[in-house]
Amino acid sequence: MSKNYKISIIKGDGIGPEIIDEAIKVLDIVSYNCGFTLEYKEYLMGGIAIDVTGKPLPQETIDGVLNSDACLFGAIGGAKWDSLPRELRPETGLLNFREAMGVYANLRPAVIYDELINASTLKAEIIEGVNIMVVRELIGGIYFGKPRANDGQKAYNTMIYTKDEIIRIGKKAFEIAMSRDKRVCSVDKANVLEVSQLWRDTMIELSASYPEVELTHMYVDNATMQLVRNPKQFDVIVTGNIFGDILSDTASMVVGSIGLLPSASTGDKTAIYEPIHGSAPDIAGLGIANPIATIQSAAMMLRYSLGETQAADIIEKAIKQALKKGYRTEDLASFDTKHLVSTSEMGNIIADFIDK
Ligand code: NAD
């Protein structure tokens, strides 16, 4: 009997539905060809959930995702909901969702496709061979710390990390480094912040358990600059929530576009697979969003949550073939672009390469 997996789908807002539809198109073909089935169930979150249920994160979504084998997520947010009180905003729903799912480690691979060397704003010799894994702590730090307030005259947030939280994410980074080039760069702001000093001390302590892995440290301001100056120096970057958020956007432009970077948010209960970008309201509905980050996230889901390695390989190969043949969405287009394609055309082309 063929295997059947339960996949929760959250399309969200803006370009979310457009890019998720392309990922599902690709998943349907690859699962059929590889002899397993995916049973999708859609849940609401973000702005659309506010419109339909009055809340950014309905309980049904939490229960549904926890009862599935993995979750594929689009993006949430948009100007329509920006003036709501913070606790009712789509972004608060997303943070609460990640916390409820316990997904403390967000893995963001930034790998250059040879075919896209010219799509980067950086010179070819700087970016050729870039292969970085950003390991971002996802459910702690300043996005979650209390107290937090804004009374119109004074506003503050709190950056907190406990030693246990740092050990938990540090272990993940060291373990990932063991299967790669065995180098971890821990990014912090230990010259100014107490929380970063604890982060650094804990990483040093932890590194004793991973003697084969080289641990280095970098301040976040320097790391942002180094990512653009010489990205090849990095193997695994481990960092806190806000620094990881910023650094991975920089890493995305090193490899060509924010529309390319997938991610896996993992923990002990479940995993959520999502592009690193947001809902891109400026291009929503125009049919020009790049679906590759989401299709690549779907491949990560097959590989890491379902163990369907062959299917993941097939998707990744199809993406490369589409790029090799010169198909580009607008974000990747350059002077030598042969075939400028829409969001759904890119999905169709990748799906066709899977069938070949
Ligand atoms: P964004 O990532 O949505 O967009 C930044 C820029 O990148 C925009 O110019 C956009 O058009 C472009 N872009 C993003 N994804 C693209 C794709 N797949 N193809 C082509 N171009 C793409 O970030 P933003 O503009 O700062 O935020 C927009 C909304 O998204 C806000 O409401 C924000 O809170 C939300 N957001 C959500 C998430 C999430 O759901 N995980 C993450 C970040 C931002």
For 167-205, write each residue's pLDDT tens digit.
999 999 999 999 999 999 999 999 999 999 999 999 999
Shared domain for 279 and 255, answered yes or no, is no
Same domain, 15 and 138: no
Ligand 1 midpoint to CA 188 (Å) = 25
CA triple 265-134-175, angle to 5 deg: 80
Are 119 and 252 in a shared domain?
A: yes
The answer on 198 and 71 residing in a single domain is: no
Q: How many CA atoms lie within 13 A of 226 on its CB side?
A: 15
Domain match, 248 and 183 both: yes
For residues 257 and 276, membership in a common domain is answered with no
**Single residue among 261, 296, 314 that ends a domain in this structure:** 261
The pLDDT of residue 282 is above 70: yes
Ligand 1 centroid to 252 CA: how many Å?
12
Q: Respond yes or no: is residue 221 known to be catalytic.
A: yes
Give yes or no: residues 149 and 202 share one domain. Answer: yes
Active site residue 245: yes
330 and 199 in a common domain: no
340 vs 342: CA distance, rounded Å: 7
Tally of domains within the chain: 2
Pocket test for ligand 1, best of 72, 91, 277 (most atoms within 8 A of CB): 277
- The CATH number that applies at residue 94 is 3.40.718.10
* Domain closes at, from 213, 228, 261: 261
Domain boundary among 261, 279, 311: 261
CA atoms within 13 A on the CB side of 34: 23
Is the pLDDT assigned to residue 1 strictly greater than 90?
no
* Catalytic residue flag (residue 69): no
Q: In angstroms, what is the span from residue 278 Cα to ligand 1's centroid?
A: 3
pLDDT at residue 336 in the model: 75
Q: Would the pLDDT of 44 be above 80?
A: yes
% of the chain exceeding 90 in pLDDT = 92
The CA distances from residue 150 to 81, 88, 146, 157, 335, in Å, are 18, 15, 12, 9, 47
Do 185 and 142 have their domain in common? yes
Q: Are residues 116 and 229 in the same domain?
A: yes
Angle formed at CA 280 by CA 277 and CA 286, multiple of 5 degrees = 130
pLDDT of residue 252: 86
What per-residue confidence (pLDDT) applies to 111?
A: 93
Q: Using CA atoms, how far apart are residues 156 and 347, in angstroms rounded to an integer?
A: 43
- Both 85 and 115 in one domain: the answer is no
Range of the domain at 326: 1-103+267-356
Residues 72 and 207 in one domain: no
